[in-house]
A = this chain, B = another copy of it.
Amino acid sequence: MGSSFGKIFTISTFGESHGAALGVVIDGCLPNIEVDFDLIQRDLQRRKPGQSKLSSPRQEAEDVDILSGVFEGKTLGTPITLLVKNTDVKSADYTPIKDIYRPSHADFTYDAKYGIRDYRGGGRQSARETVARVLAGSFAKMILNKLGIHIQAYVSQIHTIQVSKSYLELDLAQTESNLVRCPDSETAAKMEEAILKAKAEGDSLGGIISCVVKGLPVGLGEPVFDKLHADLGKAMLSINAVKGFDIGSGFESVLRKGSELNDSFTIENHSVRTKTNHSGGVQGGISNGEDIYFRVAFKPVASIKSEQESITKQLDNVKFSIDGRHDSCVVPRAVPIVEAMAALVIVDHYLRNASYKMQAFS
């Protein structure tokens, strides 16, 4: 259970890190969408390990097979199945730690829950699963592109190094201009340095990804439980290593008073706007037409090279170190994952909102 997401635009991901393949079935995608193969490849490349000196050396070819739902370059409205085979798997690397419960990994909890576990490369708990999310997200983006809705995530903090400017002061188009995916080049350089230092030390670093959604129409999000930001929060918290989420002024808003934080309405070009946007584009769980922006906190990844203490499945104490090919900092690679999950939430709410837009009732 738990491998499906979305109500109308529904995805079901599958696959273990060192199994035959990873993939996703998308049910509920609109028909007649031209498949943007470049977009698929671009996002896959951004998520891919081994893309730079900053990331894991695991080489994943990431050739995508489209098994269903696409005909003559267009979506059919039927389930779309996307598959990435697992290659360059070095499962033997994992044999020594097959019985070890690695600290802050899900080895123990999977064993306790299921009584069985594919220990190779972390099995289903591996962040390799997110390749399926990026694939699905690229189809969501194809729809959003047609609607003029654009999502851009970027790294705003690595360890103690943070971008001091708000997203409004940054040129987000610069995000891809450096390896850490931070649009502020000076800060990016410091982040890169920090990551390489941690790598040299056999340690790992976390960070924060900020994400901005522009062009959203008014009215997306359902009241009460399925608030737009509640679904965004769940989507982000479901990504491996994420420990926190906030939207708009978020945790910061605690430090302000109501009189300082309220977003007054005003009229601009005959449409309703707010003078400020502390709300982050969502009021009462429903989009108000302003930019949505939110933050996602990633802890440092648990796989580190330094020696650690833990126990085995047989309840013996052990000392061990992990020799697998791991990132010292996954945050730059998580940028397209955050975008993908945001795209999935938004396209799903866009389609959920369709019923209110039916012509017969307007």
Contacts and interface: CB of A to CB of B under 8 A. Distances in A.
Interface in A94-109: 101, 103-106, 108-109
A207 interface: yes
Given A76-B123, A124-B223, A231-B234, A68 B21 contact: yes
Given A10-B4, A109-B284, A254 B207 contact: yes
A35 interface: no
Interface stretch (A46-54, A175-183, A308-316): A308-316
A170 interface: no
B204 A68 contact: no
Contact of A78 (B3, B231, B306, B356): B3
Interface in A301-326: 301-304, 306, 308-311, 315, 317
A117 interface: yes
A228 to B, nearest CB: 10
Interface string A210-236: 000000001101111111011101111
A202 to B, nearest CB: 8
B65 A20 contact: yes
Given A12-B25, A32-B115, A262-B103, A284 B243 contact: no
A300 B218 CA distance: 24
Given A66-B20, A244-B250, A246-B244, A159 B225 contact: no
A2 B349 CA distance: 11
Interface residues of A, number: 151
A289 to B, nearest CB: 8
A60 interface: no
Interface of A is mostly: mixed
Contacts of A297: 246, 250-251, 253-254
A290 to B, nearest CB: 11
Interface stretch (A184-192, A265-273, A332-340): A265-273
A77 B251 contact: no
B146 A360 contact: yes
A161 to B, nearest CB: 10
Contact of A306 (B71, B160, B259): B259
A285 B206 contact: no
A266 to B, nearest CB: 6
A218 B112 CA distance: 7
A253 B242 CA distance: 10
B69 A261 contact: no
A165 interface: no
A299 B315 CA distance: 46
Given A76-B116, A283-B104, A237 B229 contact: yes
* Interface-centre pick from A123, A146, A358 (highest chain B CB count, 10 A): A358
A288 interface: yes
Contacts of A230: 233-235, 237-238
A278 B8 CA distance: 32
Contact of A223 (B5, B78, B262): B78
A134 interface: no
A57 interface: no
B27 A1 contact: yes
8 contacts: A2-B285, A21-B81, A77-B116, A78-B124, A206-B253, A258-B300, A265-B310, A354-B358
What 4 A-B pairs have minimum CB-CB distances, sorted nearest first? A106-B284, A2-B222, A244-B246, A204-B258
